[in-house]
A and B are shown apart, each in its own frame.
Chain A
């Protein structure tokens, strides 16, 4: 898919995000907007997957795990827009009996979701397990994950990082949403990650970096990451993003991590995001 098409999808995804959280006055727009470009490219241009006929086991398919489950709005939008479930269902986000729980779950069998997430730090371990299963079964597909940068403060991430390198789990590509913000403020203020690239390298990972708002860079870097798989090393991409990307008043701080826009703010936000595929 070309850049223009992907950018148009990402714009619609951003509209979905702000409308979904505004609709229920809750949810996490900041990180969702920041990862809209990445997830759009991943689902529409990279993953080998079967959106219209979801299978939990995903045999022969690339798998994606959202480890930072609070940015569920962007994932739900991308899943719906790529055909996993009706786009109209986005309007049920966070409502009673909805399949679109506040944080992703398998409980109500939403197509596209294979594991609950929300309590942070668990997705990398899950991905490793899935990747090892694929190796056992001779399945050459890739397991992708997305993590928040603040999430890397969880110790389990580093347990998994150590395991993956020591055991050459080389069919995993992890991406870090490196926006530098978390609920309480800047990551550097809350608990600095230090030199993130060097940390992953020291843990034995192949480290790539990319601009999470350049469709071309995302495409190229994901393609490069894929060429690095099967090479006895796990791969991580440190993706520089801006929390709230695409909505000017949500950018530049941590304040829109988990706050929904009010009706006036929603109008303002939508005026900045082109409706390209039709609102749900």
Chain B
């Protein structure tokens, strides 16, 4: 804070708007207008899958899909996303079942502490939608905005390769 004066409080929290998340319109009530999309998803809409770990778009833990683009939800003002279609990790698998990407992360050992995992899962779905058969370098570059501190990325690379291969065999 830059001032020594008593600052004004964010309360009363009286903003009302709605966000379209995972195909549903969700009302956001009594919010402070300065809240990030990450905060609103996690603290107001009961969707804690996106994680906060750097607050400046460096680590990718908060990755969600917004109008078809992968974005860091910590850098998006929630109130500016009212006209957008938002997809979070919770909206990926139909009826609570695992997607092929989620299953591959488990099979390949791509999950340890799991904190970066939801962001990675969303980013990998986005990558494979854009580039169905990526090279290793394309995988690494596309996911270089997602930091994992546990795995050293080896098992995650294996998971992505596996999904791409399976999808190409099926199609």
Binding partners A and B: no
